[in-house]
Chain A
């Protein structure tokens, strides 16, 4: 309240709250209420019960003031769409939003405060007692390192975030810090995109600046089209592999034919995993095609396709042990190997030509 009185001479106009100081006293206006000619005591009394005041204070004295962090927290509670009373009603019950695989729930902490609960989207209905509770936002770095199987996650925005944890009561600055640890720089890039200042580096620019062991990737662009980049994007950047929405294309003029995905936050250039994989593909794709002759039954041909699909979709581990009706089943695959490979591991005994 002291802050309101102190700021009134400069004028306040925020989220429906207007406060001004004139010679005949203070003016206090909200969409539901208007009073003027108030002395300081009357201003304090009028403002005391109004949620617009706590809301104004939160956004100017409690929430982080940097543009991107502020805008992100505003977005979390739909502050640009809903009036303060509507919003405060919703926040009283907790207002949930998703960000990748994160579920963020904003609640009121008094009229001038917010508390943020952060968990995995798949844990939305899990009782809190069954989740590991964390307070330190930097714990998120460790959680983000491994998936539910304990495997290392080199790509933070892969849709493989582990479950079973919760940050039940994060302060405004801390929730942004935790989101950064899970999905680094996504808040800043999302904000830049909203402001129209996202600096996209397309494929050709990105590979052109590579040096050292990655310099070879430059040679993959031969000015003969961009089909190879379509394949890269389909392999690495699909929503099933990465939750960022791909905004880069082959170059400024040449869009890729593959969908960029539906992610909330943008991908502004090919990442280090894409470049590392592209280095390997640059080498492999430098080989000339050869003609091989294999004899397969129709079912065996389909089984090879099933196996490729299962591995590409990360489904191989999910095929039940006795499900011999699935071509990518382990017994089916072992049978195929036993029948078709020679002692050197050559398919139907046909040697690989170098």
Chain B
């Protein structure tokens, strides 16, 4: 039976770039041929959540939210707008970062919808954050130089030790928002790759404004856990961290702030490996996509899946 993938993303009425990562990841997955159809859908753009399923021919659909945390959008808005009437948050049986999937029927089209947890709380998102750090530093060994006996390796930017800051929006309306950030910061810390790993926030302590106060490492990679680049990642956070006075002036990568070199990565969602997380979500819900996962991880520089 045909299986289709629908990606649900926020989109924007104001920012043309908001949908760009969604399109890019959909294209990557489409190219693997793992699904008979791959559709993008949006809350603020078209195709709207409300009308996405009727454009999909397959009777079986894997619905993956391209959102960072579990909460208002994943638990209320998306199920409501996709008309998954039997939905209730308990079906995910999640503690805020452990959603899996629920199989439901869409009221308007009758399709079987495997409603997956958001990409942001999947374990493989930790790999994307690390991959983002590699991309922004141009150093596949970033953070790992202390392990290396190779004198050449010590000439990489990693010489003085690397810290990693994972930055999130903060609580605002949803406590799970902070949980997702802390969850990945803890997981990456356990990898023993970076000298220091911290979770920082825009609107609560510890605040990203004081990023250099939280690190002893000379170099700090800052990865915002956002799906798309926009106001927060391209204006707010760079100015708050002191990378620039005015975002329009731009900033260096790295940019020196208070004696630290800040490697600011921009939204993690723009990293090509994000397509892998979308696939992992569908795979966890039962989609047959293992070959596609291998292909995407290979293409986006992450190597083979660690096998969990």
Whether A188 sits at the interface, judged by CB under 8 Å, is yes
Q: Which one of B27, B45, B50, B76 contacts A154 once the chains associate, using CB atoms below 8 Å?
A: B45
Within 8 A of B (CB), among A144-165: 145-146, 152, 154-157
- Complex: how many Å from CA A141 to CA B23? 9
Q: Which residues does chain A contribute within 8 Å of B76, judged by CB atoms?
A: 211-212
- B44 close to A188 (CB less than 8 A): no
Q: Which one of A185, A212, A268 contacts B77 once the chains associate, using CB atoms below 8 Å?
A: A212
- B55 close to A199 (CB less than 8 A): no
- Given known pairs A185-B46, A185-B55, the reply for A276 and B77 (CB within 8 Å) is no
A204-233 near B? 1/0 per residue, CB < 8 Å: 000001011000000000000000000000
Query: Interface residues of B, CB < 8 Å — how many?
Result: 26
Whether B291 sits at the interface, judged by CB under 8 Å, is no
Main secondary structure on A side of the interface with B: loop
Whether A9 sits at the interface, judged by CB under 8 Å, is no
- B13 close to A212 (CB less than 8 A): no
Chain B residue with Cβ nearest A151: B16
Q: Which residues does chain A contribute within 8 Å of B108, judged by CB atoms?
A: 199
Q: Which residues does chain A contribute within 8 Å of B14, judged by CB atoms?
A: 152, 154
- A185 close to B54 (CB less than 8 A): yes
- A154 close to B51 (CB less than 8 A): no
- Complex: how many Å from CA A211 to CA B19? 23
Q: Which one of B16, B27, B72 contacts A146 once the chains associate, using CB atoms below 8 Å?
A: B16
A257-276 near B? 1/0 per residue, CB < 8 Å: 00000000000110111001
- A66 close to B80 (CB less than 8 A): no
B37-73 near A? 1/0 per residue, CB < 8 Å: 0000001111110111011010000000000000010
Whether B151 sits at the interface, judged by CB under 8 Å, is no
Distance (whole angstroms) from the CB of B85 to the closest CB of chain A: 12
- Complex: how many Å from CA A184 to CA B45? 10
Whether B12 sits at the interface, judged by CB under 8 Å, is yes
Within 8 A of A (CB), among B24-38: 27
Q: Which residues does chain B contribute within 8 Å of A188, judged by CB atoms?
A: 51, 54-55
Whether B15 sits at the interface, judged by CB under 8 Å, is yes
- B16 close to A152 (CB less than 8 A): yes
Q: Which residues does chain A contribute within 8 Å of B15, judged by CB atoms?
A: 152
Q: Which one of A152, A211, A269, A276 contacts B50 once the chains associate, using CB atoms below 8 Å?
A: A269
- B57 close to A66 (CB less than 8 A): yes
Whether A18 sits at the interface, judged by CB under 8 Å, is no
- B80 close to A209 (CB less than 8 A): yes
- B51 close to A184 (CB less than 8 A): yes
- Complex: how many Å from CA A212 to CA B76? 10
Chain B residue with Cβ nearest A276: B13
A178-206 near B? 1/0 per residue, CB < 8 Å: 00100011011100100000010000000
- Given known pairs A185-B55, A272-B13, the reply for A211 and B45 (CB within 8 Å) is no
Q: Which one of A138, A152, A155, A187 contacts B27 once the chains associate, using CB atoms below 8 Å?
A: A138
- Complex: how many Å from CA A184 to CA B15? 19
Distance (whole angstroms) from the CB of A218 to the closest CB of chain B: 14
- Complex: how many Å from CA A145 to CA B173? 31
Q: Which residues does chain B contribute within 8 Å of A212, judged by CB atoms?
A: 72, 76-77, 173
- Complex: how many Å from CA A199 to CA B106? 14
Distance (whole angstroms) from the CB of A24 to the closest CB of chain B: 42
Q: Which one of A154, A155, A269 contacts B12 once the chains associate, using CB atoms below 8 Å?
A: A154
Residue from the set A145, A154, A276 with the largest chain B CB neighbour count within 10 Å: A154
- Complex: how many Å from CA A189 to CA B50? 12
26 A-B interface contacts by CB (under 8 A): A138-B27, A145-B19, A146-B16, A152-B15, A154-B45, A156-B46, A157-B46, A180-B47, A180-B55, A184-B48, A185-B48, A185-B51, A185-B52, A187-B55, A188-B51, A189-B51, A192-B54, A211-B76, A211-B80, A212-B77, A268-B51, A269-B50, A272-B44, A272-B45, A276-B13, A276-B44
Given contacts A272-B43, A273-B13, 9 further A-B contacts (CB under 8 A): A145-B19, A157-B46, A180-B55, A185-B47, A185-B52, A199-B108, A212-B76, A212-B77, A269-B50
Residues in chain B within 8 A of chain A (CB atoms): 12-16, 19, 23, 27, 43-48, 50-52, 54-55, 57, 72, 76-77, 80, 108, 173
Residues in chain A within 8 A of chain B (CB atoms): 66, 138, 141, 145-146, 152, 154-157, 180, 184-185, 187-189, 192, 199, 209, 211-212, 268-269, 271-273, 276
Please name the 4 residue pairs, one residue from A and one from B, whose CB atoms are nearest each other, closest first: A184-B47, A185-B51, A152-B16, A184-B46
